[in-house]
Chain A
Amino acid sequence: MKYAGKKLLTMFLTLFAVTLFVFLAFHVISGDPASSMLGTEATPARLEALREEMGLNDPVLVQYARWAGRFLTGDMGTSYSYRMPVSDMVTDKIPVTLTLTILAFFMMVLISIPLGIYTAKHAGGVIDRIIYIFNQIIMAFPPFFSGILITLLFGRIFKLFTPGGYISYEKNFWGFVGYLFFPALAIALPKAAMAVKLLRSSVIGEARLDYVRTAYSRGNRTNDVLYKHVLKNALIPVVTFLGMALTDMIAGSIIIEQVFSIPGLGRILLTSISNRDYPVVMAIIVCISLLVLVVNMIVDMIYGLIDPRISVE
């Protein structure tokens, strides 16, 4: 219980620091929401009246306190550019980014764990070597580049999907997931390559330890030793990596959304930054930070499940 309290407190402090930092950053860059809203039709008098109405003339910290106060009561405010409640915009877009991230995560796990075990088991073999080379190449790809390649290969040459033909999840859920398949693959591939490499070396490292020899000497077959003993220990560094990769994927999906024209949180975030629409930016930043924090917490708990010697207390 004490642990949970401590965790919650650090989470809260992290969120506070992140939001304050973002808020201050907005006041350093030029351009303000009022001039953005009035555009080329602004007159000094109209700008002044609008700034006053929006409370932009108050000191930064007062503005921050006002925003934070409202946010804590569940009021995310109204978007300056879309004039609609921020909560509507965010809840509309979270499923998109979340589906993309989760899909990518599952792909990464599905690709990396079997391949990692296989290459470790057959270390030094021909297939291991081929996979090793591919791994090295794919690992060097940033997601946006693998995204462009996938668009070219599967979109233009094999015509397996229509580039830019995003389908809304409200209209056709399976079509939506289908469109996200390739973007998710673009995010998952480089990470999967790293996970394969990590798992392979982790398994091989474990296999050299004494307990493995003991296990063999008790008459176990290779597969039993591998799955019942080695894998459990070898997975711990991999889980750490998968957790880190998941948080990284949330960030990666923001970039991939641009490449595949997916209207998710990332797209909204980028346009809102350029519109100085900070109620939206703040809300999305809070969402993403929360996601990252929650994922980290889950990873901590999974450690305990895999290896009872590691206790969260």
Chain B
Amino acid sequence: MKRKGLKSLLLVFVLTTLAIALSACSGDKEGENSSQITIGIPQDLEDSLDPHKAVAAGTKEVLFNLYEGLVKPASDGSFIPAVASAYEESEGGKVYTFTLRDGVKFHDGSTVTAEDVKFSLDKCADTSAGDPLVAAFSNIESVDIADEKTIVVTLKEANTEFLAYMTTAIIPASNENPDTNPIGTGPYKYVSRSPQENFVVEKFDEYWGEPAHIENVTFKICSNTDSLVMDLEGGSIDMFARVTASQAAELSDQFEVLEGTMNLVQALYLNNAEAPFDDVRVRQALCYAIDPDEIMMMVSDGKGTELGSSMFPAFSKYYMEELNDTYNQDLDKAKALLAEAGYPDGFSFTITVPSNYQPHIDTAQVLVEEFKAIGVNAEIQLIEWDSWLSDVYQGRQYQSTVVGVDASNLTGAALLQRFTSDAHNNFINYSNASYDEAFDKAIYSTDDAEKTKYYQECERILSEDAANVYIQDLPEFVAINKKYTGYEFYPLYVQDIAKLRLAEE
């Protein structure tokens, strides 16, 4: 009798598990009535949600939808007024006057005041944590409230590009926990998050501008990028911004694959302070040894844009296509340069590559093969991103590394400042007096044509000096379910979700 009881208990258990398993198949298809989209992102926002403290590109591209500055970047690379309705630049780029837009609301329902703006800008200029949160803000002399609708920013040195930094997010002074409770003025507002699972936002109904089209947006963390095709086809995500060329090819016609550029400078970055890369001839020899087209062929089916200096085509004003031809593959010349530099039999070195990004690893592998042709033995060392940050980027203890360097804003300085001799982020230890001079002239010039001229001078120096072995601006493939449309590429590393809409609308 007792055993029978046990048996039937077992039977019940087995049946329930089966029932559960089967019921799961008719999964979770709720919420179809209000518009929603699930967007896959490769990593969680392992960062502060405070827009001024967030550092990871992956965090910033999501927060772009939550926060706005006095002005905000548009997809064509210009600036459009946001929290400010108008701005005026005077005294040759020394004084910027902003008029606040009427009735701009924060996500908590309060109205943006001049005090909030001053608070936000002062917070980023504050030097109590060592350096200001936004490095360029060390140039701010003062932020003044002229009247309740007018903010005047006075600079120490005139800078006609300063507007680009006014995209710095405006946040309410009253928010006590900006780290975990993001409140901004953007088209989407924060709802909830679960670490390593998702980050949920919803449309902000009181947005001042053109409202977002899709009500509910879930950013789902897909850290296993090998299964992206399965995730997309299975319907657990509707869009993923950076699939690889081979994944794009695997997708069914349910998806549209849009091609853009990543807007970064991928190069073999060389530690210019370390032998043998302290010799310009060695660096040039490496440049002559490689063929960017071959790399693109191997890494992304030939997609991508060749680069010859630290500037990518999205900066149409500054980009110089002719620099791509400073070094065309020429193995004899490369060998001759090596011999001249005292390495007739080549040498060996290490390429340190962060292990979290496959295109860079693939690129490094092609480079290793290409260098063999001139007798140079390169060895790839994969390291974790955090070790890369501390050893390579901050510690500068490395020989060479393959990464992509992006621009944090739409100024030429964003890409070129790091190569000035005393820049804190000059991780390649590049030092060239004529470069520093040209760069200084570019920043302090108030005439646009002159500025462009000096920035281009900087690019030319980097190219001729072979500061790095420049390769390409990587292609970006955005896979999006055909249910949605309206995706726009930006010259910056952002995802503008407010532009997306349902295809049948």
Contact = CB atoms under 8 A, between A and B. Distances in A.
Chain B associates with chain A: yes
Interface of A: 29-32, 35-50, 53, 79, 81-84, 89, 92-93, 106-107, 110, 151, 155-156, 159-168, 171-172, 174-175, 177-179, 181-182, 227, 258-259, 261, 263, 267-268, 271, 274-277
B424 A179 contact: no
B387 A178 contact: no
A224 B309 CA distance: 84
A275 B386 contact: yes
B139 interface: no
B197 A166 contact: yes
Contacts of A259: 224
23 contacts: A31-B387, A31-B390, A42-B394, A46-B130, A46-B131, A53-B129, A82-B46, A83-B48, A83-B180, A84-B180, A110-B10, A160-B25, A161-B24, A161-B27, A162-B27, A163-B231, A174-B20, A175-B23, A175-B28, A177-B20, A271-B44, A271-B196, A274-B385
A231 B24 CA distance: 36
Interface string B369-387: 0000000000000001111
Given A42-B394, A274-B385, 19 more contacts: A30-B391, A35-B386, A35-B394, A43-B131, A43-B424, A44-B424, A49-B128, A49-B129, A83-B180, A89-B195, A106-B13, A151-B230, A163-B230, A164-B222, A167-B27, A172-B28, A227-B3, A271-B44, A271-B196
Q: Which 9 pairs, one residue from A and one from B, show the smallest C-beta to C-beta distance? A: A178-B24, A45-B130, A39-B55, A31-B386, A263-B197, A81-B46, A49-B130, A46-B130, A165-B236
A38 B55 contact: yes
The majority secondary structure among interface residues of chain A is helix
B220 to A, nearest CB: 9
Contact of B391 (A31, A93, A160, A161): A31
Given A35-B389, A36-B389, A164 B21 contact: no
Interface in B184-209: 194-197
Nearest to A165: B236
Interface in B108-144: 128-131, 135
B285 interface: no
Contacts of A174: 20, 23-24
Contacts of A50: 129-130
B223 interface: yes
B227 interface: yes
Given A30-B387, A36-B389, A83-B180, A47 B197 contact: no
A39 B224 contact: no
B425 interface: yes
A160 B21 contact: yes
B221 interface: yes
B80 interface: no
Interface in B225-243: 227, 230-231, 234-237
Contacts of A82: 46, 180, 195
B237 to A, nearest CB: 8
A93 B197 CA distance: 10
A31 B424 contact: no
Nearest to B424: A43
Interface in B343-386: 384-386
Given A83-B48, A166-B197, A41 B55 contact: yes
Contact of A40 (B17, B25, B49, B393): B393
Nearest to A114: B10
Nearest to A31: B386
A203 to B, nearest CB: 17
Contacts of B227: 163-164, 261
B14 interface: yes
Contacts of B488: none
Contacts of B20: 174, 177-178, 181
A47 B130 contact: yes
